[in-house]
């Protein structure tokens, strides 16, 4: 089973690299937000610093959302999704690998580029560590919740529309706690409460989302 999990992870990463647009989409979205929003609201350093956490998190959310439509649908269409239940190991392990690869493709690039984005937006230096920690805790939640929504809408013709409707309400607490933690750190206050709630949401998502996603996928192939 470990060989199958590794093979699936390597395959997903190779496909993302081969289709360069998919692997670069999170970074392109982030820099698009960095360029366009200051043009609209003005280049004032104080204003940009105040909205920097929200801008970076919106870019992370949009990058995650765009990649959700193709998370499981190609496997359903070519029949490989059914093979997950015909193998010798639990299909849930492969679901976890797929969700992890989605985070590597959409969440990790945003985390790596976040320090540069923070400097471009004049985010105070004391808040940079909190921003990075909030992204490390929060972006996996986006992949887990998004994977569940993708599995639930897999059998519909307009999955992309339903994905947005399902995902946005579920990730609102993540955005509130993450940006709130960074704002508190920028003001010289302790962000531990917000980060603790974000960590609790991550534990809840890691515990429940893979199980629910596996069950939803099984319903779609039966």
Tokens of 132: 């990075």
pLDDT at residue number 22: 59
Report the alpha-carbon distance of residue 123 to residue 71 in Å, rounded. Answer: 33
pTM for this one? Answer: 0.90
What is the 3-class SS of 151-185, one letter each residue? Answer: HHCCCCCCHHHHHHHHHHHHHHHHHHHHHHHHHHH
Report the alpha-carbon distance of residue 18 to residue 86 in Å, rounded. Answer: 28
The per-residue pLDDT string of the chain (222 residues; one tens digit each, 9 = 90 and over) reads 578 788 888 888 888 777 665 566 777 777 777 778 777 777 778 888 888 888 888 888 887 887 787 788 888 888 788 888 876 668 888 999 999 998 998 889 889 888 988 888 889 988 999 999 999 999 999 999 999 998 888 877 665 667 778 888 889 999 999 999 999 999 999 999 999 999 999 999 999 999 999 999 888 777
Among 66, 106, 89, 107, which Cα is nearest to 214's? 89
pLDDT at residue number 190: 93
Q: For the chain, give me the number of helices (H) and strands (E)?
A: 9, 0
Domains of the chain by residue range: 2-221
pLDDT at residue number 69: 78
pLDDT at residue number 192: 95
SS3 67: coil
């Amino acid at each position: 089973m470990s060989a199958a999990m590794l093979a699936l992870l390597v395959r997903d990463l190779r496909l993302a690299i081969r289709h360069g647009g998919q692997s670069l989409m999170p970074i392109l979205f982030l820099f698009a937000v960095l360029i366009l929003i200051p043009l609209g609201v003005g280049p004032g350093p104080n204003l940009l610093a105040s909205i920097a956490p929200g801008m970076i998190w919106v870019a992370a959310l949009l990058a995650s959302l765009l990649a959700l439509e193709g998370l499981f649908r190609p496997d359903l269409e070519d029949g490989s999704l059914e093979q997950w239940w015909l193998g010798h190991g639990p299909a849930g392990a492969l679901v976890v690998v797929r969700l992890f690869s989605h985070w590597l493709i959409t969440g990790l690039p945003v985390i790596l580029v976040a320090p540069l984005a923070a400097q471009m937006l004049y985010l105070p230096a004391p808040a940079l560590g909190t921003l990075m920690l909030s992204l490390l805790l929060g972006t996996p939640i986006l992949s887990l919740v998004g994977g569940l929504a993708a599995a639930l809408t897999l059998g519909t013709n307009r999955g992309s529309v339903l994905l947005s409707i399902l995902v946005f309400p579920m990730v609102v607490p993540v955005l509130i706690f993450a940006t709130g933690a960074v704002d508190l750190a920028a003001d010289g206050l302790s962000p531990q409460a917000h980060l603790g709630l974000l960590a609790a949401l991550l534990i809840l998502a890691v515990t429940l989302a893979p199980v629910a996603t596996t069950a939803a996928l099984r319903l779609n192939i039966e």
